[in-house]
């Protein structure tokens, strides 16, 4: 068994949101499918830290979730800033059960154990969110969710590993509330998405405050799941 990660698939099978208007995103779903089939085995797990679908409701996201379900492995799905379809855990779990999407798991105030790795995480938020009252409220809420997830991960055992959508640190800046939680639990490995473009190589592998970070947005990975390593 192995654990892989890929963020920001930005699927839109149930909506009209073409990604080929962005450079490098031509046939991106097909590319990801081809690479996934060549890389991931049925016994593996793949973490997807956010921006899963452009859908606005769980029902509208169903085609995208079915696409992921049909790929090999267990899929552990987190929330991104564009996941407006995201609902309560009860509603998403019910949708998955109703449509037989048995390979999907939702990462939200909880954790999953896969190949000795405690998969933990939350969406996160902007670096400068503390600058206004609303932003501070959001980031503190996200820090609380990360703490809940890591607490659940501790109970499962395994190596605590954080999967965020927004980076908790990059370019000499840190999101202090999230970094404090990572340090509180002794997390040493963190994967994140959200960042795109042609100049992202510097985010491949970097260390801040003894925590190793890696960018895993789909376009950055050339639409191929990356194996989780320490």
pLDDT tens string 47-88: 999 999 999 999 999 999 999 999 999 999 999 999 999 999
| DSSP state at residue 11 | B
* Predicted local confidence at residue 120, as pLDDT: 98
Contact of 125 with 167, CB cutoff 8 Å: no
Domains belonging to the chain, first-starting first, are: 3-227 (3.60.21.10)
- Residue 121: alpha-carbon gap to chain centroid: 8
| pTM recorded for the entire structure | 0.96
Structure confidence by residue, pLDDT tens digits, 194-203: 999 888 999 9
* DSSP symbols for 88-126: -HHHHHHHHHHTT-TTEEE-SS--EEETTEEEEEE----
Q: How many CB atoms lie within 10 A of CB 225?
A: 25
């Amino acid at each position: 068994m192995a654990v892989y990660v890929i963020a920001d698939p930005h699927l839109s099978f149930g909506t009209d949101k073409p990604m080929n208007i962005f450079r490098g995103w031509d046939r991106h779903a097909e590319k990801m499918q081809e690479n996934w089939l060549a890389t991931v085995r049925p016994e593996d797990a793949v973490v997807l830290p956010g921006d899963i679908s452009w859908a606005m409701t769980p029902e509208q996201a169903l085609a995208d979730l079915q696409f992921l379900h049909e790929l090999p492995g267990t899929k552990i799905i987190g929330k991104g800033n564009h996941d407006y379809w995201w609902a309560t855990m009860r509603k998403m779990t019910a949708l998955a059960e109703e449509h037989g999407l048995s390979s999907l798991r939702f990462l939200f105030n909880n954790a999953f154990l896969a190949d000795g790795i405690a998969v933990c995480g939350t969406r996160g938020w902007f670096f400068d969110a503390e600058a206004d009252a609303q932003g501070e409220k959001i980031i503190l809420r996200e820090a609380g969710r990360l703490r809940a997830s890591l607490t659940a991960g501790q109970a499962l055992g395994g190596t605590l590993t954080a999967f965020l959508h927004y980076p908790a640190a990059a370019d000499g800046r840190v999101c202090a509330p999230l970094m404090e939680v990572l340090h509180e639990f002794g997390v040493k490995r963190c994967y994140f998405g959200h960042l795109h473009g042609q100049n992202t190589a510097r985010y491949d592998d970097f260390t801040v405050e003894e925590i190793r970070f890696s960018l895993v947005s789909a376009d950055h990975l050339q639409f191929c799941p990356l194996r989780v390593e320490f």
